[in-house]
Chains A and B, each alone.
Chain A
């Protein structure tokens, strides 16, 4: 499910000009584009079952997230959204981005799912219209 980058994220394309961080098979630039262009992105280790859990949970809301699999040899992911740089430790995966913003790990997703915050967040991100 794709959305146009939200207004706040289009205002700055700093990630295009900033000096590239360490090279990795999943380039920071590519991660940025993925996060900007998809309403819901899950970064997970390749074959990780927790990533699977996150995806299943999102699917119960009718949202099919983009799952970006990170390989063992990949570096930590650095994502620049607007002026802020998000550095994701590989140990903390899976990590979710909703509407181009860092949403958090599986704990956060679970908590939002239980307390009812997840649906409005998904709607706001344009991942759900209903």
Chain B
């Protein structure tokens, strides 16, 4: 940015010089022709002074113009910068205001608190993963890798603890995935990732694996998929029974005698909604169990690579989201 402005200035300045020279040049020419012809009408001091003043004024004018153009150029840069900032703020503003509304409607600012806690968690995770990456690149020993891998696993446990606490406050915020980027939300299942899908991605990244490891990972992928199905079916049955509860009895009638039964219905439905929190907890339990089992099947070095691959995958999803949000729209 810094080197473009002087160049632009020069070109504008050049134009200015030409135009200035147009008027001044005529004067200078007369002066020159006059001075060449010394014998005749000598220019008095007054004229010379005027010419000098003229030249000086022109020089000052050029400098002022140069400064002015420089100023314009700076303003232009600043404006572009501000526009970019505004756009970024708008994107974030939409996100904050929507999650804010949600927090408002579903009790307290638990959602905002969770979002903040989650982004802190992500930052910490980035640090841990960078550490793991450099240890892997430096061919660190298994003992050293193991410590970092255990740290990453403990960090995942921390996430699930945070989520479980937040689910008590605002389970719908967690289920909505509004705390994740849009592309991540595309893959959302019960407030997080599907471990069976992650394992599928990993299969090609962990070569070479022994026969036993291959079987271990395959069967883990299968069992976690079965557990996901069981939870999904549980969610379906929850929705079904919620719908049944709400539509049972006197749908449509509004006589005052039904107030009690209406309230009873609502109380039952509330009880059923309360189970949602359990679903998040169980889904996160499944995620944790799957990661832990994956690490049991793999060697320390493979575990490190697997955790990195998972991390990189999510980083790419987030990067994709940023690109998507910044895409030109028109």
| A binding-site residues for B, Cβ under 8 Å | 47-50, 52-54, 56-57, 60, 106-107, 110-111, 113-116
Chain B residue with minimal CB distance to A53?
B234
Q: A53 contacts B289, CB within 8 Å?
A: no
Q: A113 contacts B234, CB within 8 Å?
A: no
Residues of B within 8 A of A48 (CB): 275
Stretch at the interface among B3-11, B16-24, B223-231, B322-330: B223-231
Other-chain contact of B234, A52, A107, A111, A115 (Cβ < 8 Å)? A52
Interface residues in B, total, Cβ within 8 A: 27
Chain A residue with minimal CB distance to B296?
A115
Residues of A within 8 A of B282 (CB): 50, 53, 106-107, 110
Q: A110 contacts B285, CB within 8 Å?
A: yes
- Give 14 A-B pairs besides A110-B286, A114-B224 with Cβ atoms closer than 8 angstroms: A49-B235, A50-B234, A50-B282, A52-B233, A53-B231, A53-B234, A56-B230, A57-B226, A106-B282, A110-B227, A113-B226, A113-B227, A114-B220, A115-B289
Q: B235 contacts A114, CB within 8 Å?
A: no
Q: A53 contacts B230, CB within 8 Å?
A: yes
Residues of B within 8 A of A49 (CB): 234-235, 237-238, 241, 272, 275, 279
CA distance A53 to B229 in the complex (A): 9
Dominant secondary structure at the B interface? helix
CA distance A106 to B289 in the complex (A): 13
Chain A residue with minimal CB distance to B282?
A106
A47-B285 CB under 8 A given contacts A113-B226, A114-B290: no
Chain A residue with minimal CB distance to B238?
A49
Residues of B within 8 A of A60 (CB): 226, 229-230
Chain A residue with minimal CB distance to B241?
A47
Other-chain contact of A111, B231, B275, B289 (Cβ < 8 Å)? B289
Residue B278 at the chain A interface, CB threshold 8 Å: yes
Other-chain contact of A114, B223, B237, B238, B279 (Cβ < 8 Å)? B223
